[in-house]
């Protein structure tokens, strides 16, 4: 084997880059700290003396890595940790009791634990260490017998899982990841559409044909592929900037104006959102018809009907200002930004109206979903003409 081939082989051991941002890394570390601390402390809540029960078993550290650092993994879901740890602990205790040789008992325990985890759909890598702990944990663990399955394994697994669920909820992170079963593939779907794309059923069918377990949730994979397709589509229009498709001039409203003034502007110009600007034409908020209807109702106690033309004028209470009703967190784009930068904002974050800023960070225009579609259609028509001219030439 040549030196270059050996070097290429050794480079294969180099780790890939970690794209997780530092705030998320810190959130994972803090979650593991809280989870392990809670789990180790909770063992003292068990009735009776807990002196014979390990206050923490080592596999819980590995489970914490999955639960807090990679919570989207199928291996980190609630049934994986509870089912995997319980079945592995049971298998490990049984092998320790039935097989005298500790090496053989450990080997059989891990192998059987993996088999049962596959059968019960609860594969959890740290559970292999649970099986080993049951075999090699020493006299104290062996004396517990099958009680080892309940305390510490079941109790600590439940405590760590509870800590993870609460922590992710408090920090705004989705956990657990629910399993969505894909519908049966429709073989006639492609024939009914000119551009069938990739469906959830297609992804599930491909995963079912693979002979290995992939550590990624099908829903996350579908989301990644959908966003990738959208970016690839938008890249074909890289010459199209936000300035080319935005609507101008933009109807705006001042924060000091009353809600009735914003209502009149929305109705007069037949728009659904108004950027709120200061004296320098900088965007400080946005107010929509929904803001006026929902927040005005909450502020005055007056029930608003979207089909009543004079809903604001019927209120007897004080009319709130635009400042009290507007959304101050506004997603904006630069006029020089490309469509590739704009599409994910509409697709991923659910925005319907995006203010466009010029080089001085002042309001230059507004882009709606209709503007985006019209711009894409117009550019697609131009690309078709260019292709025909090139073919004819």
What is the Cα–Cα distance from 87 to 343, expressed in whole angstroms?
47
Give the mean model confidence (pLDDT) for residues 157-172. Answer: 95
Residue range 192-210, pLDDT digits in tens: 333 446 677 777 778 777 7
Task: Compute how many other C-beta atoms are within 10 angstroms of the C-beta atom of residue 200.
Answer: 18
pLDDT recorded at residue 50: 53
Q: Which uninterrupted H or E stretch holds 383?
A: helix 369-392
Q: What is the pTM of this model?
A: 0.59
Number of Cβ within 10 Å of residue 170's Cβ equals: 10
Q: Which helix (H) or strand (E) holds 146?
A: none
Q: For 104-125, how does the pLDDT look when each residue is reduced to its tens digit (9 = 90+)? A: 999 999 999 999 999 999 999 9
Nearest residue to 331 via CA among 273, 268, 264, 247: 273
Residue 151: predicted pLDDT: 84
Averaged over 120-131, what is the pLDDT? 96
- Domains in the chain with CATH codes: 17-170 (no CATH), 242-383 (3.10.580.10)
**Distance separating alpha carbons of residues 151 and 160, to the nearest angstrom:** 13
Cα distance between the two ends of the chain: 52
Lowest mean pLDDT among 109-113, 122-126, 236-240, 297-301: 297-301
Closest CA to 240 of 386, 390, 372, 389: 372
Evaluate whether 126 touches 62 at the Cβ level (below 8 Å): yes
* Radius of gyration for the alpha carbons in the chain, expressed in angstroms and rounded: 30
Q: Are strands 283-288 and 273-277 parallel, antiparallel or unpaired?
A: antiparallel
Can you read off the two tokens belonging to residue 59? 């596999």
- For the stretch 24-55, pLDDT in tens is 999 999 999 999 999 998 887 776 545 556 67
Cα–Cα distance list, 237 to 65, 232, 337, 379 (Å) = 41, 9, 12, 7
């Amino acid at each position: 084997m040549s030196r270059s081939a050996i070097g290429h082989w050794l480079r294969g051991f180099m780790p890939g880059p970690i794209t997780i941002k530092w705030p998320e890394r810190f959130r994972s570390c803090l979650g593991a700290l809280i989870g392990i601390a809670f789990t180790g402390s909770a063992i003292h809540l068990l009735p009776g003396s807990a002196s014979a029960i390990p206050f923490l078993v080592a596999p819980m550290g590995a489970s914490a890595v999955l639960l807090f650092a990679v919570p989207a993994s199928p291996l980190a879901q609630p049934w994986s940790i509870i089912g995997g740890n319980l079945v592995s602990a049971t298998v490990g205790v049984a092998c320790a009791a039935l097989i005298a040789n500790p090496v053989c008992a450990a080997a059989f325990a891990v192998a059987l634990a993996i088999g049962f985890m596959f059968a019960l759909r609860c594969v959890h890598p740290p559970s292999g260490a649970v099986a080993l702990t049951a075999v090699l944990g020493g006299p104290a663990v062996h004396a517990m017998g099958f009680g080892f399955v309940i305390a510490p394994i079941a109790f600590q697994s439940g405590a760590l899982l509870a800590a993870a669920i609460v922590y992710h909820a408090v920090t705004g992170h989705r956990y657990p990841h629910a399993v969505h079963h894909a519908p049966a593939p429709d073989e006639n779907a492609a024939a009914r559409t000119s551009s069938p794309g990739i469906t959830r059923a297609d992804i599930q069918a491909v995963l079912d044909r693979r002979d290995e377990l992939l550590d990624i949730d099908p829903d996350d994979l579908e989301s990644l592929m959908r966003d990738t397709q959208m970016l690839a589509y938008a890249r074909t229009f890289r010459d199209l900037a936000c300035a080319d498709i935005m609507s101008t001039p933009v109807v705006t409203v001042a924060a000091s104006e009353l809600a009735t003034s914003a209502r009149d502007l929305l109705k007069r110009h037949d728009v659904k959102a108004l950027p709120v600007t200061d004296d320098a034409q900088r965007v400080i908020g946005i107010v929509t018809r929904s803001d006026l209807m929902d927040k005005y109702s909450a502020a005055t106690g007056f029930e608003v009907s979207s089909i009543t033309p004079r809903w604001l004028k019927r209120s007897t209470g004080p009319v709130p200002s635009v400042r009290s009703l507007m959304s101050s967190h506004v997603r904006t784009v630069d006029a020089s930004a490309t469509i590739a930068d704009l599409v994910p904002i509409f697709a991923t974050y659910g925005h319907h109206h995006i203010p466009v800023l010029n080089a001085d960070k002042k309001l230059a225009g507004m882009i709606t979903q209709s503007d985006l579609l019209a711009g894409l259609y117009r550019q697609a028509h131009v690309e078709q003409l260019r292709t025909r001219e090139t073919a004819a030439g």
